[in-house]
Amino acid sequence: MLQCSARFVPAISICIAAFAAESLAGELTPLEQAQGWKLLTGEDGAAHWRAYRGESFPAQGWTLKDGVLTHAAGGGGGDIVTREEYDDFELVFEFRTAPKANSGVIYRVSEKHDAPWMTGPEFQILDDAGNALASDHPHSAGAMYDLYVPVAGKQLRESKDGAVAWNEGRIIIRNGVVQHWINGVKVVEARMFDDEGQPTPQWLEKIAGSKFKDYEGFGLQPSGHIAFQDHGDEVSFRNVKVRRLGPGGMPNEVMLFNGRNLDGLVPIVPEAESLGIEPASVWSVKDGVLICAGIPAGYIRTAGDYTNFILKLEWRFSPVTKAAGNSGVLFRMVGEDVVWPKSVEAQLMSGSAGDFFAIGDFPMTTDPARRNGRHTRRTHTAERPVGEWNEYEIIVNKGDVVLIVNGEEVNRATGVEEVPGKICLQSEGVEIHFRNVRLTELK
């Protein structure tokens, strides 16, 4: 399962889902495969890359051997790009630089200009110490080059006994927000686009104040290639993995909400009869969004049962009222339809997304330092501001459950009773929206 280390730097609470540590070089675990990861440095790695504006993997400069992608100092070959283009994605990789070396990972790249950096933001790869740069310099490792500086507290691993250290990098871009991570610490977070897909004023201001302002379309592509930079120096990459984060990104994915109506879902409102309403009246669908009025209390659930799975969904509270509130995702729900049924709850209360509740004394084990009765607090808060879209990734794998909010692992449980059960979305007092509710089963 995923490994989590909670670290803290000024203003940001950090917890990493350390995917790179899960598998050996050249392999993907069954869980990684179910999550939709693709290995770009495996035995067929060269088939995933080509020269920028070229058709094939460079004949010089770049080599891929034993799972390590290396550019030789002065070797030429130019920048390389993925053959596929990506919109919302997560990329993890390990990188190693020669002394004073410089390189970069550039994303959402088009080929309209002479080089990838002219269209896409860059995750800077650099030997900070060798280049005498402070860790929070706008050109230091992990920076969004020339646009956003890394937070204080970033740590690059030191080389020892003549062996050059490997460092872990991670890029997530989802729903307009991009994150850069180094060695488990989130070092950059920036909102590039709003929830309507339009560039934010802050992002446009950043571009206008940089050298990139002279390149039409810089940072505005909704999708593009991922590029590794030839900066003339020696740099190596390994365990390079990517996955698409939007709908369809997981193999054998099933949409639990079809985006059109409530077909396949069962509304449960215990007070409906006494109130003289239909349970379905609490729920409506508009523009692919499932809208819950929040009153009366209840939930909408799947008709079928699920035991082991990866569940992904997006939620937000009303972008009009911006009223904070409460809700939750219930899973392995068993027994009668009551408020609230025996299940595990992944909390959605504003400011508490990622908390656990064991409803009906559901058997599970969590960190005693964060547990109070049936409630276990998250390690940290990873939510967006009220009214913006958030994403849950909930991994339910035998007795293990992991809660990931906006790409950050915030809670986990073990010894969870393994029983087939329903999946429910709560109506709990305030308007809340859901979309892209999807699942892939773990066999």
pLDDT in tens, the chain (443 residues): 333 433 333 333 333 343 333 444 568 999 999 999 999 999 999 999 999 999 999 999 999 999 999 999 999 999 999 999 999 999 999 999 999 999 999 999 999 999 999 999 999 999 999 999 999 999 999 999 999 999 988 999 988 876 789 999 999 999 999 999 999 999 999 999 999 999 999 999 999 999 999 999 999 999 999 999 999 999 999 999 999 999 999 999 999 999 999 999 999 999 999 999 999 999 999 999 999 999 999 999 999 999 999 999 999 999 999 999 999 999 999 999 999 999 999 999 999 999 999 999 999 999 999 999 999 999 999 999 999 999 999 999 999 999 999 999 999 999 999 999 999 999 999 999 999 999 999 98
The CA–CA distances, whole Å, from 138 to 38, 49, 131, 234, 296 equal 30, 28, 13, 21, 51
Place of tokens 């002394």: 99
Place domain 254-441 in its CATH homologous superfamily. Answer: Exo-inulinase; domain 1 (2.60.120.560)
Residue 94: its H or E element? strand 89-97
> What single-letter DSSP state applies at residue 23?
S
Q: Which of 368, 365, 252, 227 is nearest to 310 (CA)?
A: 252
Q: How far apart are CA 308 and CA 430, in angstroms?
A: 30
Residue 4 has a pLDDT of 40
- CA–CA separation, 425 vs 348, rounded Å? 10
Domain 6-244 CATH assignment equals 1.20.1090.10:
no
> pTM of the prediction?
0.92
Domain with CATH 2.60.120.560 in the chain: 6-244, 254-441
For residues 136 and 10, what is the distance between their CA atoms, to the nearest angstrom? 13
CA distances (Å), origin 389, targets 109, 116, 197, 287, 293: 25, 30, 12, 15, 17
Q: Bridge-partner residues for 71, per DSSP?
A: 62, 235
